[in-house]
Amino acid sequence: MARMRTKRIAHARALPRKKHTTRRIVLAFLLLVIVVGGCCGFMMFRSAMSAKNHLNNVIATAQSLNSGDMTDALTNIGSSVESIQTEAAAAKQDVSGPLWTAAEWIPVVGSDISSVRSAVNTLDDFAQTTLPQLQQAVNTLTGSSLSDGDGGLNMEPIITAADQLTVANDSLAAQAQTINDLPDAKIGLVQDALSKGKTQLTAVADTVNQLTGIVNMLPSFLGTDGARNYVLLAQTNSEIRGAGGMVGSVGSFSADNGKISVGEFHSNTQFSGNATDQIGEGESTLYSDMYFGTAIHNITSSPDFPQVARMASEFWEQQSFGGTSDGVMSLDPVALQAMIGATGSVTLSDGRVLDGTNTADFLLNGVYLEVSVEEQDTYFSETASQVIANMFTNMDSTKMMNLAKALMNMAGQRHFYFWSFHDEDVETLRDAGMTGEINNSESDSTVGLYLNEMYASKLDYYVDRHTVVEQTGTNADGSATYHVTTTLTNTMTAALNATVPWYINHLTPDGTAGNRTMIFAPTGGTVSNITASNGAQFTQVDAYDRTVYLGQLDIPVETTITLEWDVTTQAGADPLQIDQTPTCSDDPGIEYRY
């Protein structure tokens, strides 16, 4: 009995020993999981930091495609391709493998990891596929003679480069779309990185798309498939109009297989006839008292350049010196200055030299201070004639890239327009950003601010305009609300106003600028709460398939008028953008605070 009790006691004592062993095994297993998990986490952290460093190098190098001088960036692209490819491939390797694949299944953060991997793979595709395509197009331009030796362009390498750029552009557009379609990340650092990546790649894609449009338009524009005839409008922003400025003179030029010939310019006073059949519903109200459609100098009252072009073509065809046209080009003194800066200075018949720094000020103001009224149009037409004639003479890749950059910048600010009456040309011109159309996209939310000077004067040279756009809310339906503040300051002083030549202020002797102001609501959006510091009231007009708000801002000398309004965009639209009548400088004066 004692022996049996002893065995039972011994057995009872053995049981806790088994529990301790099990506990140790469990603890050891948990420790192993922690160690393995920690090692995996450390390995992922280390590879993530490595990928980040590689991507930073990719982005820093790729930014040169969208910043600084485009000529240098594209000319030197060959030296960057290999470096970007190496860094991108290393980043892709860092986020590859079973650990990263498994991490995509982690609750909450797994989707962020998936987005990171997708972004890295897309950037690697950009490096391995698109960059070599861009390099090929650049090599075609830099390795060929673009001048035909007879004042024209050698079109063969341009046509080849256009095809190559189109392939690269399509590839880049798809990559940018992939990045933009990635969902917002839950981790702040990841979201910041994705946002920067989206912004940078979209900016590069937009630049390449615009350049592709310009190069693609050249063959048809320059008459590769037959001679083309164009009307050329010379605008002066000193007397502001919706699309830029009053049309001072009108000329023509022709293009045939790479060669350009410039015809004579004619003052707006030489034109008769009308183009009233181009006036749409509500537009007679917007442009009342402006002889819209009956006087060629005011056809630019409309901010819709295709409408302006149709009117210009009709007027031109009605004149004894005119004829049919294939398209219309328009430029103002700011565009002329940029183009002269890209193609070389011009010397006028009186010996005056205009260059990339003094052209705009002279044509917008100096000519009215120094030259008699009868001779003023001659300076505009002579300058424009030389610029157009010089555009493509002695062309090389550096001059082409400089000219492309100038045209892109000027078209983006509405200083330069080009519209073709050939349907096959329009899409490439849109890609180049040159068409000056009213934006009808619900996703690319745009509000328009357009001005027309109602007092025949050249006072708008003295009006400084600045606009600030702030996002004030995001609504439950996915729309967004913005507050827009525009200040218009008449820098003309009373003392100066008393001494300037009569042509500058002859219908407003007290120096007041009279800006009839139009606010175009965005497609699918609304404008509300319009207030002006001078008490101006705005009325609602239905025109251009949207609601337009119309008011008059009189701006006395040494006075600032503040105009404010709210904008609500279509649900899901991109951040609000301002489209506006161009200023008298290459600074649009728009500040986006978001």
pLDDT in tens, 88-127: 888 788 778 777 777 778 777 778 778 888 888 898 898 8
Tell me the angle at which helices 131-142 and 77-94 cross, rounded to the nearest 10 degrees.
Answer: 170
Q: Of 221, 246, 280, which one is at a domain's C-terminal end? A: 221
Tokens 């003023």 sit at which residue?
376
Q: Tell whether 68 and 216 lie within a shared domain.
A: yes
Q: Tell whether 97 and 186 lie within a shared domain.
A: yes
Q: Tell whether 284 and 175 lie within a shared domain.
A: no
CATH code of the domain containing 477: 2.60.40
Taking alpha carbons only, the member of 208, 235, 226 closest to residue 62 is: 208
The strand pair at 590-592 and 463-474 is best described as: parallel
- HEC profile for 76-90? CHHHHHHHHHHHHHH
Q: Is 559 exposed, middle or buried (0-12, 13-18, 19+ CB in 10 A)?
A: middle
Count the domains in the chain.
3
Q: Tell whether 294 and 415 lie within a shared domain.
A: yes
Instruction: Say what the pLDDT of residue 101 is.
Output: 79
What is the DSSP code string of 533-580? TT----EEEEETTEEEEEEEEEE-TTEEEEEEEEEEPPTTPPSPEEEE
Q: Of 158, 190, 221, which one is at a domain's C-terminal end? A: 221
Tokens standing for residue 511: 């120096």
Instruction: Say what the pLDDT of residue 83 is.
Output: 80
Instruction: Say what the pLDDT of residue 479 is.
Output: 94
- 517 is a domain residue: yes
- 43 is a domain residue: no
- 44 is a domain residue: no
Taking alpha carbons only, the member of 150, 156, 137 closest to residue 224 is: 156
Q: Tell whether 85 and 216 lie within a shared domain.
A: yes
- 184 is a domain residue: yes
Q: Tell whether 400 and 265 lie within a shared domain.
A: yes
Instruction: Say what the pLDDT of residue 553 is.
Output: 98
Q: Is 87 exposed, middle or buried (0-12, 13-18, 19+ CB in 10 A)?
A: buried
Q: Tell whether 336 and 464 lie within a shared domain.
A: no
Instruction: Say what the pLDDT of residue 62 is.
Output: 61
Instruction: Say what the pLDDT of residue 52 is.
Output: 64
Task: Count the alpha carbons within 13 Å of 92 in the hemisphere toward its beta carbon.
Answer: 17
CATH code of the domain containing 353: 3.40.630
Q: Tell whether 243 and 126 lie within a shared domain.
A: no
- Which residue stretches of the chain have pLDDT < 70? 1-79, 189-190
Q: Tell whether 390 and 508 lie within a shared domain.
A: no
Q: Of 368, 398, 431, which one is at a domain's C-terminal end? A: 431
For the full predicted model, state whether its pTM sits above 0.95. no
- 31 is a domain residue: no
- 23 is a domain residue: no
- 206 is a domain residue: yes
- 22 is a domain residue: no
Q: Tell whether 243 and 381 lie within a shared domain.
A: yes
Instruction: Say what the pLDDT of residue 339 is.
Output: 97
Q: Tell whether 169 and 272 lie within a shared domain.
A: no
Q: Tell whether 427 and 564 lie within a shared domain.
A: no
pLDDT in tens, 122-170: 988 988 999 899 889 988 988 888 988 887 889 999 999 999 999 999 9
Domain around 401? 228-431
